[in-house]
Amino acid sequence: HPPRLNGERRGIFATRTPHRPNPIGLSLCRLDAVEGNTLHLSGVDIIQGTPILDIKPYIPYCDKEEEGDVRVPDWILSPPIPPLTVQFSPAAHAQLDTLMPTLRFFHNKDEVLQAIADVLQGDPRSVHLRKKGDLTSSADKKFIFALDAVDVTAAFDESLVTVEEVVPVYSKLKAELQQAKPTQAVQAGAK
């Protein structure tokens, strides 16, 4: 289920859902015809005999194809989830300022802020997390994702997303593992 479809079903290979069984790369091409189980493509940047494992719909704001006529599925043009408003806490701004030199794929802070906002505006949480009902635990409202060399922590509240923290990638996981080690050592010594 793609998060942006809010539970509406589509085939996994017909969407760009982040909840996928494979991290396959994408190539923009034109689907000219379908004959049985054969796809006729043009404008694809692969060599003869390369297997095509996955087909995705064209999404105008992602693919930026300017030429020719392009057919876009209705569920892409009018997703059932309206874009969310994204804001950044002062702490997240300060952390990002500190971490900018560690980033490899962005040239400036504005690019990073835009990329984070682009991810969060479409509500990338799974439908299960989004529809949990009355989220009373603050942990249930948090969403963490990696972007370049940082982990971004955001809190969801209705139609507003607040980026609360930007830290080095995996730093939270490393801290949790370090905290768990002394506890495990004490338990092993008690046996």
Render pLDDT for 29-77 as a digit per residue (tens, 0 to 9): 778 888 888 888 777 766 555 677 777 777 776 666 665 676 777 777 7
- 3-state secondary structure (DSSP) of residue 152: strand
H helices, E strands: number in the chain: 6, 6
Is the per-residue pLDDT at 176 higher than 70?
Answer: yes
| Max avg pLDDT among 62-76, 84-98, 135-149 | 84-98
pLDDT grade for 164, boundaries at 50, 70 and 90? very high
pLDDT grade for 15, boundaries at 50, 70 and 90? low
Would you state the pLDDT for residue 132? 63
Would you state the pLDDT for residue 184? 54
The pTM score is 0.60
Do strands 38-42 and 85-88 pair parallel, antiparallel, or not at all (unpaired)?
Answer: unpaired
**Do the Cβ atoms of 160 and 84 come closer than 8 Å?**
yes
Would you state the pLDDT for residue 112? 94
Residue 113, both tokens = 């802020």
What percent of the chain has pLDDT above 70?
68
pLDDT grade for 98, boundaries at 50, 70 and 90? very high
